[in-house]
Amino acid sequence: MKCYFSRMRPRPRAVPSALLFALALVCAGALGAGAPAAAKKPKPAIGAAPRVVAARKEHDAGVRAAFAAAGVPYPAPALFIRVFKKDAVLELWGGKRGAPLALVKAYDVCAASGELGPKRREGDFQVPEGFYRITHLNPYSDYHLAMGIDYPNAADRIVGYKPSLGGAILIHGSCVTIGCIPITDEPIEEVFLAVLDARTAGLATVPVHIFPTRMDDAGMTFLKVHAGLDATLRAFWDELKPAYDAFEKSHLVPRVTVEKSGRYVVHPLP
């Protein structure tokens, strides 16, 4: 119950203080008109959420088999996700900490929005490009299951159009998107389980690298043509390429830092 007051009323008659006190209690809900609202039942923890329970029943054996076939222990001590926008592919890599990773499985990205290039503002429909990490798992998503990434990251916050950078970028199920990465329901169930189980076992960070395309010689030739006279876009893609090259060479996820200018600096692991 809400109390509403008006500044344009005629001067009221005097009201007994006892009545005023009673009215105040009613406004505050202290008189308990009607039964108190029932507290909302808390949702089950991620691992006990109905969609996750169903996904485990359906896919647990297959996920473990895929990791075993790649020679990766399960839950994986290390995980890495790469996304290639033009190629519409999400790769799931796994391995031991500090050791070269192995490709466990690749999944089709079923829909896209925007164009090649980074996300710079809210409402631009762009899928981000750059270096991110999984921040949270949502088993109650409108898109079946979802994993959030940390867009805007430090670089985005420097070079993006402030204050409206946007956010809520997800890897999720279903097949609709406005700036997210949808891989449909069954694939997200597999990736979600792999990430959940690794995190439960103690994995702190799952890096996610999002590239415009595979940045090999053919890919870079395509990107130069695609960028045309846009020197800013060409320079941005040149920042991403060292990370692509470093991982292709060693299968170790390189360390990436951000300069004050917002420029990425890649530090390949020895």
DSSP strand pairing (255-258 vs 264-267): antiparallel
Encoding tokens for residue 105?
């499985």
What Cα–Cα distance (Å) separates residue 178 from each residue in 57, 72, 126, 190? Answer: 30, 34, 7, 23
Cβ atoms of 194 and 167 within 8 Å: the answer is no
> Is 175 a catalytic site residue?
no
Active-site hit among 59, 144, 175, 180: 180
Cβ atoms of 59 and 193 within 8 Å: the answer is yes
Structural element, H or E, at residue 217? helix 217-227
Active-site hit among 172, 175, 209, 251: 172
> Is 3 a catalytic site residue?
no
Cβ atoms of 117 and 126 within 8 Å: the answer is yes
3 state SS of 15: coil
End-to-end CA distance of the chain: 65
- Residue 94 phi/psi, 5-degree rounding, is -150, 165
Active site residue ranges: 172, 180
